[in-house]
Amino acid sequence: MKNLFKSIFISLFPAFALYVFIDSSIHLFQHGLSFRYLGRLIIALTIVIFFTGLFIKSQARTSRNLNFYSSFIFFGFITSLVFGGIIENKDIIGSSMSFILVLLWIAYIFWYSVFEKRENSVLKVGNSLASFKLEDETKNKISSETFLGNPSIYLFYRGNWCPLCMAQIKEIASQYKELEKRGVNMIFISPQPHKFSISLAKKYNLGFHFLTDTKNKVSKQLGIFSKNGIPTGFQVLGYDSDTVLPTVIITDAQGKIVFADLTDNYRVRPEPETFLKVIDNLR
């Protein structure tokens, strides 16, 4: 149920911020300067810029608490509350709206972005990675045992709809030659429909493996399943409501886990250079 609330929250929050931005802009245009509306415009615009930037700017990670954006939001809140609510002292609407936006921003950082209870005994370093089966673009079964004999990097990503996931894959693709030189199997795994994985495979065409975890069977087996992890509304594009928690697993040639990143924040992810260092330490 908690994830369902998160799914609805992440769809409504940016839309609400956009509405407030438009409403504040119209009010300032029609009635002139008002610190209350100027403050909430700054807050709403900052939120809109942040979420828009996730989709138009390739970035695989952000800071944990988004201090840069939070500073502008705090400035907007002070402008609305102090200069608007106290100095202008005409009504509370502008300031209260700013307060709501700030609360939603705090909820986004400390509630929505965080994954709780990611302790996982199955994916501990030193364990042998459990055997599992995935599907390739033609729905042929591919066993994880296929990749034994070489180091392997398994990256579980939420889907093509996730801008941070796409940026992370792009980063790794830029390290293709380094990975190839080290003889690494690079396996990208998502529960999304095959057609989306096929489009990624065609886009990069680098010999990586883009495989599908049908019905999240493997993510459930490994304890990285995320029920209702897709933002509400993305189902109309063909995605299922359930997905996988962003996870990176590196195994040696014998299939033993030598690295596992079970991030507790979907915006905080390891650098590709980290993977190369882990692989180099196997030599």
Which residues, at least 6 apart from 10, have a Cβ–Cβ distance to it below 8 Å? 108, 112, 231, 232
pLDDT in tens, 84-93: 666 766 555 5
Which residues, at least 6 apart from 44, have a Cβ–Cβ distance to it below 8 Å? 17, 18, 20, 21, 24, 101
The predicted model scores a pTM of: 0.92
CATH class of 133-280: alpha beta
Contact yes or no for 248/152 (Cβ under 8 A): no
Going from N- to C-terminal start, the domains of the chain cover: 2-112, 133-280
Helix ranges restricted to H, the chain: 2-31, 35-56, 67-78, 93-107, 163-173, 176-181, 194-204, 217-222, 272-280
pLDDT in tens, 126-163: 999 999 999 998 899 999 999 999 999 999 999 999 99
Q: Got the DSSP string for 38-93?
A: HHHHHHHHHHHHHHHHHHHS--S---SS-HHHHHHHHHHHHIIIIIIIIII-S-SH
What is the pLDDT tens value at each position of the chain, 283 positions in all? 778 999 999 999 999 999 999 999 999 999 998 888 999 999 999 999 999 999 998 899 999 999 999 999 999 999 888 876 667 665 555 578 889 999 999 999 999 999 987 888 899 999 999 999 999 988 999 999 999 999 999 999 999 999 999 999 999 999 999 999 999 999 999 999 999 999 998 998 888 999 999 999 999 999 999 999 999 999 999 999 999 999 999 999 999 999 999 999 999 999 999 999 999 998 7
Contact yes or no for 241/228 (Cβ under 8 A): yes
Rounded distance between C-alpha atoms, residue 141 and residue 211, angstroms? 10
